[in-house]
């Protein structure tokens, strides 16, 4: 077990805590940079999809994992980002300008929903976001002049500095760059006062308020940031799909995004990445699994969603801290071997005390 | 269509939303958690009724009783197997658990009963009743009467029976209720059984007017809006919310441009939540420190 002797405050909030971090993250970056040389075009495409999911997951993680606000409608922000980006690019905006603009438009939508949302708590908020997602879906269908309605709209390959990025590896690097930027942004945010304030709100609204954190403003900030980041992912998603239709952004996608952050591990940036990997590879695993099921069962529509649900259920019951939580447990087990105790990560139970009047 | 017909159709539709919303409110009242799978429980109830009445040939009323008992047992089992292990964890965990339960139920129903809509005969099928200059089918009358009866029964249950009061106590403060000798765990399983029974009734009543198919449970989302408008935790509120949503939906379909019919429930809900964050019969207040 490594013990770091800290001699300055800067050292305490440093992103790369020690040489091990530098080595392993450097190795990971190198592997990602070399991946297009080593892997098939198909896998490069899959990896860029995973990067896009990871960006959206980071956005949702800020909201669910760090501010403690549950959103059941994040597909709406993905849709807003995707359609805004596609519309702007279609009207001649350069890619580098349209993508941040899509993020900003999505963030504005996030702020809009934050107005009523910041007064709600718990389930009310979850339901309000769900309603928002359904309204956005209907808007996409009915605003035919902008979105093309049910016919959908085609999205061209992204054009960067006059070069059309038609090859999968070119788009792969675009996604990787955006992911790294967003990741660094989130990591920085979380060690800054804003991020700390969000975490304080998650842990206890009352104590946060007592410490002088204006709840409504910070909840609005959380919604705006989360929606903005998800909107960025939406812009990339539009290019990846290359054809936008309203049914791509239904409630199943919202649930998938939520599944991602829960399975990955709430309250950690690693969790969003692990969750994206999980979501990215799950369809492949399910396709293989299908061969082993009786044909009557394997061909029913909705089976995939059912298996998603089952996995989510198992995680909530048996490993509420997700893949990252499991990794931390395993790591600690070996770090302090043979002193690990099962109770180390046990959560304290809270007993229900209502705030209702009868 | 004229206004009277829209209103009558809206009220019948609203009663269905109210009926599903009752199930949400029941569980919320007793355990302060929300069962997002309520609509899917209703779907399973309707399919089991189809099996009993159409496939096994039971008479309608016997079939109804059998479905209620089956679903109640299933509801009890769901709470024991799924909900009990995560009791004492944040509300959020229950939300995700029940959402995923809904997906699993839908997939199971798809495998067992297939995706083609089915129906079964009822004693109310095909007869019409004239109210003023509007027409209403007997199936819709059955829905309205059934909803009012159930709502009244449950209201009396919570207000006047020992069990109902004990449930309210458990939802107010679990630990204190436990110290008073209330079997909190068993109570929450019981309320799941009751609410699954209500879902079964909703499914059976709805079967003649809606298609019985695995996606039927998505109606639950609108019922959700109804429960929120009424103020979660209030039984009459759930019914009122259902009526508001049902009538609003019909009026929006009749008088407003395309797209408003599908979203009217949610727009109404967002408006109510913005004005009164706790719903019409609000029961939530600021926590005192």
Check residue A190 and give its pLDDT. Answer: 92
Exposed/middle/buried for A20, CB within 10 Å: 0-12, 13-18, 19+?
A: exposed
* Cα four-point dihedral sign B137, B142, B147, B149: positive
Secondary structure of chain B as H, E, C letters:
CCHHHHHHHHHHHHHHHHHHHHHHHHHHHHHCCCCCCHHHHHHHHHHHHHHHHHHCCCCHHHHHHHHHHHHHHHHHHHHHHHHHHHCCCCHHHHHHHHHHHHHHHHHHHHHHHCCCCECCCCCCCCCEEEECCEEEEHHHHHHHHHHHHHHHHHHHHHHHCHHHHHHHHHHHEHHHHHHCCCCHHHHHHHHHHHHHHHHHHHHHHHCCCCCECHHHHHHHHHHHHHHHHHCCCCHHHHHHHHHHHHHHHHHHHHHCCCCHHHHHHHHHHHHHHHHCCCCCCCCECCCCC
Q: For A88-106, b where at least 16 C-beta lie within 10 A, e where not — what string?
A: bbeeeeebeebbebbbbbb
- Residue from the list A123, A131, A356 with its beta carbon closest to the beta carbon of B91: A123
Q: Is the pLDDT of residue A231 over 90?
A: yes
More confident residue, B279 or B200: B200
By the 8 A CB rule, do A109 and A222 touch? no
- Name the residue ranges covered by the structural domains of chain B: 3-215
Q: Do B221 and A130 touch (CB under 8 A)?
A: yes
Half-sphere exposure of B100 (CA within 13 A, CB side): 26
Gap between the Cα atoms of A159 and A165, Å rounded: 6
Q: Which of A117, A121, A123 to mutate to test the interface with B (most CBs of B within 10 A)?
A: A123
Gap between the Cα atoms of A252 and A75, Å rounded: 9
Q: Using 50, 70 and 90 to split pLDDT, how confident is the model at B261?
A: confident
* Cα four-point dihedral sign A311, A312, A316, A322: positive
- Residue from the list A120, A135, A258 with its beta carbon closest to the beta carbon of B96: A258
CA B27 to chain A, closest CA, distance in angstroms equals: 13
For chain A, positions 320-349, list CB contacts with chain B under 8 A.
320, 347, 349
Percent of chain A with pLDDT over 70: 94
Half-sphere exposure of B192 (CA within 13 A, CB side): 26
CB contact B116 to A (< 8 Å)? no
Check residue A153 and give its pLDDT. Answer: 82
Residues B255-260 have a mean pLDDT of 78
Task: Give pLDDT tens digits for A120-158.
Answer: 766 778 888 888 888 888 888 888 777 777 777 888 787
Cα separations (Å) of A167 from A160, A164, A264, B2, B271?
13, 9, 30, 59, 47
Q: Is the pLDDT of residue B227 over 80?
A: yes
3-class SS shares of chain A: helix, strand, coil, % to 5: 75, 5, 25
Check residue A179 and give its pLDDT. Answer: 95
Which positions in chain B touch A259 (Cβ < 8 Å)? 100
For chain A, positions 242-281, list CB contacts with chain B under 8 A.
255, 258-259, 262
Residues A216-240 have a mean pLDDT of 92
Cα separations (Å) of A271 from A61, A64, A105, A152, A221?
8, 12, 27, 33, 22
CA B89 to chain A, closest CA, distance in angstroms equals: 6
Which positions in chain A touch B108 (Cβ < 8 Å)? 306
- Of A171, A190, A180, residue with least CA distance to A62: A190
Which positions in chain A touch B103 (Cβ < 8 Å)? 255, 305-306, 308-310, 312
Gap between the Cα atoms of A64 and A121, Å rounded: 13
Which positions in chain B touch A124 (Cβ < 8 Å)? 228, 232, 273, 277-278
Q: Do A317 and B258 touch (CB under 8 A)?
A: no
CB contact B92 to A (< 8 Å)? yes
Q: Which of A74, A209, A312, A352 to mutate to test the interface with B (most CBs of B within 10 A)?
A: A352
Q: Which domains does chain A have, with CATH numbers?
A: 20-345 (1.10.3470)
CA B214 to chain centre: 16
Gap between the Cα atoms of A21 and A44, Å rounded: 26
Residues A334-351 have a mean pLDDT of 77
| Phi, psi for residue A256 in degrees, rounded to 5 | -60, -40
Check residue A218 and give its pLDDT. Answer: 92
By the 8 A CB rule, do A230 and A56 touch? yes
Q: For chain A, how long is the longest CA-to-CA vector?
A: 66
- Residue from the list B114, B115, B285 with its beta carbon closest to the beta carbon of A355: B285
Which positions in chain B touch A306 (Cβ < 8 Å)? 103-104, 106-108, 110
Cα separations (Å) of B257 from A100, A152, B251?
33, 21, 11
Q: Is the pLDDT of residue A350 over 80?
A: no
Check residue A358 and give its pLDDT. Answer: 41
* Angle at CA of residue B208, ends B205 and B213, nearest 5°: 95
By the 8 A CB rule, do B161 and B155 touch? no
Q: Do A316 and B86 touch (CB under 8 A)?
A: yes
Cis peptide bond upstream of A181, omega within 30: no
Which positions in chain A touch B168 (Cβ < 8 Å)? 358
Copy the structure tokens of residue B130.
């004239």
Task: Give pLDDT tens digits for B51-75.
Answer: 888 888 888 889 889 999 999 999 9
Which positions in chain A touch B106 (Cβ < 8 Å)? 302, 305-306
Three-state DSSP class for A243?
Answer: strand
Among all residues of chain A, which has the CA nearest to that of B274?
A116
CB contact A134 to B (< 8 Å)? yes
Residues A304-317 have a mean pLDDT of 85
Q: For chain B, how long is the longest CA-to-CA vector?
A: 60
More confident residue, A28 or B86: A28
Cβ contacts of A272 within 8 Å, gap of 6 or more = A54, A57, A58, A60, A61, A65, A260, A261, A264
Check residue B47 and give its pLDDT. Answer: 92
Task: Give pLDDT tens digits for A156-168.
Answer: 787 788 777 778 8
For chain B, positions 196-225, list CB contacts with chain A under 8 A.
214, 221, 224-225
Q: Is the pLDDT of residue A353 over 70?
A: no
Distance, first Cα to last Cα, chain A? 54
Task: Give pLDDT tens digits for B102-125.
Answer: 889 988 888 888 888 887 777 776
| Count of pairs with CB atoms under 8 A, one residue in A, one in B | 171
Task: Give pLDDT tens digits for B95-104.
Answer: 888 888 988 9
pTM of the entire predicted model: 0.86
Q: Do A306 and B110 touch (CB under 8 A)?
A: yes
Q: Do B274 and A116 touch (CB under 8 A)?
A: yes
Complex-level ipTM beyond the 0.85 threshold? no
Check residue A246 and give its pLDDT. Answer: 81
Task: Give pLDDT tens digits for A3-54.
Answer: 788 888 888 888 888 888 888 899 999 998 888 888 888 888 889 999 999 9
Matching residue, tokens 């061209």? A156
Check residue A357 and give its pLDDT. Answer: 47
By the 8 A CB rule, do A271 and A322 touch? yes
């Amino acid at each position: 077990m490594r013990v770091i002797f800290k001699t300055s405050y800067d050292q305490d909030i440093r992103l790369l805590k020690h040489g091990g971090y530098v080595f392993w993250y450097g190795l990971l970056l190198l592997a990602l940079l070399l991946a297009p040389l080593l892997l098939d075009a198909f896998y490069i495409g899959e990896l860029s999809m995973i990067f896009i999911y990871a960006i959206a997951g980071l956005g949702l993680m800020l909201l669910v994992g760090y501010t403690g606000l549950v959103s059941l409608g994040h597909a709406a922000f993905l849709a807003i980002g995707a359609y805004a980006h596609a519309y702007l690019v279609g009207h001649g905006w350069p890619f580098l300008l349209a993508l941040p603009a899509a993020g900003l438009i999505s963030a504005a939508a996030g702020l809009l929903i934050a107005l009523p949302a910041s007064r709600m708590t718990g389930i009310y908020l979850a339901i309000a976001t769900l309603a928002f997602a359904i309204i956005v879906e209907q808007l996409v269908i009915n605003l035919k002049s902008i979105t093309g309605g049910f016919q959908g709209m085609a999205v061209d390959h992204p054009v960067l500095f006059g070069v059309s990025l038609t090859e999968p590896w070119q788009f792969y690097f675009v996604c990787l760059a955006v992911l790294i930027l967003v990741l660094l942004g989130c990591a920085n945010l979380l060690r800054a006062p804003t991020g700390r304030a969000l975490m304080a709100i998650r842990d206890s609204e009352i104590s946060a308020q007592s410490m002088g954190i204006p709840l409504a403003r910070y909840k609005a900030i959380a919604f705006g940031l989360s929606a903005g980041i998800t909107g960025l992912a939406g812009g990339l998603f539009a290019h990846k799909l290359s054809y936008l239709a309203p049914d791509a952004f239904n409630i199943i996608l919202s649930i998938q995004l939520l599944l991602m952050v829960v399975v990955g591990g709430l309250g950690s940036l690693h969790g969003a990445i692990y969750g994206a990997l999980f979501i990215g590879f799950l369809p492949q695993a399910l396709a293989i699994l299908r061969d082993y099921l009786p044909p009557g069962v394997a061909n029913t529509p909705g089976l995939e969603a059912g298996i998603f649900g089952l996995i989510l259920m198992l995680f909530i019951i048996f490993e509420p801290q997700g893949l990252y939580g499991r990794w931390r447990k395993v790591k600690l087990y070996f770090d302090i071997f043979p002193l690990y105790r099962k109770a180390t990560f046990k959560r304290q139970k809270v007993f229900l005390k209502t705030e209702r009047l009868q | 269509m004229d206004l009277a017909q829209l209103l009558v159709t809206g009220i019948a539709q609203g009663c269905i939303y109210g009926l599903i919303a009752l199930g949400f409110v029941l569980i919320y009242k007793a355990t302060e958690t929300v069962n997002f799978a309520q609509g899917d429980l209703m779907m399973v109830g309707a399919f089991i009724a189809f099996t009993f009445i159409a496939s096994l040939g039971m008479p309608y009323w016997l079939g109804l009783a059998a479905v209620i008992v089956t679903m109640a047992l299933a509801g009890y089992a769901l709470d024991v197997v799924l909900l009990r292990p995560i009791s004492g964890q944040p509300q959020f965990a229950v939300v995700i658990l029940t959402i995923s339960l809904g997906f699993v139920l839908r997939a199971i129903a798809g495998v067992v009963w297939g995706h083609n809509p089915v129906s079964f005969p009822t004693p109310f099928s095909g007869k019409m009743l004239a109210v003023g200059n509007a027409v209403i089918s007997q199936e819709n009358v059955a829905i309205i009467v059934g909803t009012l009866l159930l709502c009244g029964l449950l209201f009396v249950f919570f207000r006047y029976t020992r069990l109902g009061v004990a449930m309210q106590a458990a939802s107010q403060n679990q630990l204190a209720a436990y110290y008073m000798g209330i079997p909190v765990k068993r109570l929450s399983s019981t309320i799941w059984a009751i609410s699954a029974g209500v879902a079964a009734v909703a499914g059976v009543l709805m079967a003649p007017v809606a298609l019985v198919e695995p996606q039927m449970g998505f109606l639950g989302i609108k019922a959700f809006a109804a429960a929120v408008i009424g103020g979660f935790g209030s039984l009459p509120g759930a019914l009122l919310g259902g009526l508001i949503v049902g009538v609003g939906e019909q009026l929006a379909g009749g008088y407003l441009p395309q797209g408003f019919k599908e979203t009217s429930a949610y727009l109404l809900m967002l408006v109510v939540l913005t004005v009164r964050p706790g719903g019409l019969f609000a029961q939530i207040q600021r926590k005192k420190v």
